[in-house]
Amino acid sequence: MPKPISSSSAAAPVAAYSQAVQAGDLVFVSGQIPLNPENGELVAETIEAATAQSLRNVTRVLKAAGLGLEHVVKATVFLIDSGDYAGMDATYRTTIPEPFPAREAVFVTGLPKGARVEISVIAHRNR
């Protein structure tokens, strides 16, 4: 039976979903937009700052599951502007430990609350 996981130190969900769900040795972290959990404000000064906040939220949810970024095997990044790819990637590569997980970047027309980036991950307990 899947087990929901949540962290009060990460941004609260903005709709009807769990922050993460554990199924066996896998933990599926829902897309994290760059909401500052302390004030509920969207971090949007730069794509680098937004990406860093999204990854902090991912990290906090993983921590609630007893995991870290080193356990991530798959990441999905959603961006609203293809021009933001290089800045997102620069922040991502300095935050995510090697060996890098599998990843795709998807360009979309909009994200919740007007965010520029959203990141979801799948982590494995035995990585």
What backbone torsions phi and psi does residue 65 show, to the nearest 5 degrees?
-95, 0
Residue 127 binned pLDDT confidence (cut-offs 50, 70, 90): confident
How far apart, in Å, are the Cα atoms of 18 and each of 28, 80, 98, 99, 106? 10, 23, 27, 28, 22
**What pLDDT was estimated at residue 84?**
98
Residue 41 binned pLDDT confidence (cut-offs 50, 70, 90): very high
Structural domain harbouring 15: 3-124
Instruction: Give burial (CB, 10 Å; 0-12/13-18/19+) of 23.
Output: exposed
What does the pLDDT look like over 75-108, one tens digit per residue? 999 999 999 999 999 999 999 999 999 999 999 9
**What pLDDT was estimated at residue 122?**
98
Read off the amino acid at residue 27: V
**What pLDDT was estimated at residue 12?**
84
For residues 1-17, one letter each, b for 16 or more C-beta atoms within 10 angstroms of the residue's C-beta and e for the rest, the string is eeeebebeebbeeeeee
What backbone torsions phi and psi does residue 28 show, to the nearest 5 degrees?
-105, 110
CATH code of the domain in which 114 resides: 3.30.1330.40
Tell me if the pTM is above 0.75: yes
Residues 10 and 106: their CA atoms lie apart, in Å, by 23
Residue 3 binned pLDDT confidence (cut-offs 50, 70, 90): very high
For tokens 């922050």, name the residue.
19
Work out how many domains the chain is built from and give that number.
Answer: 1
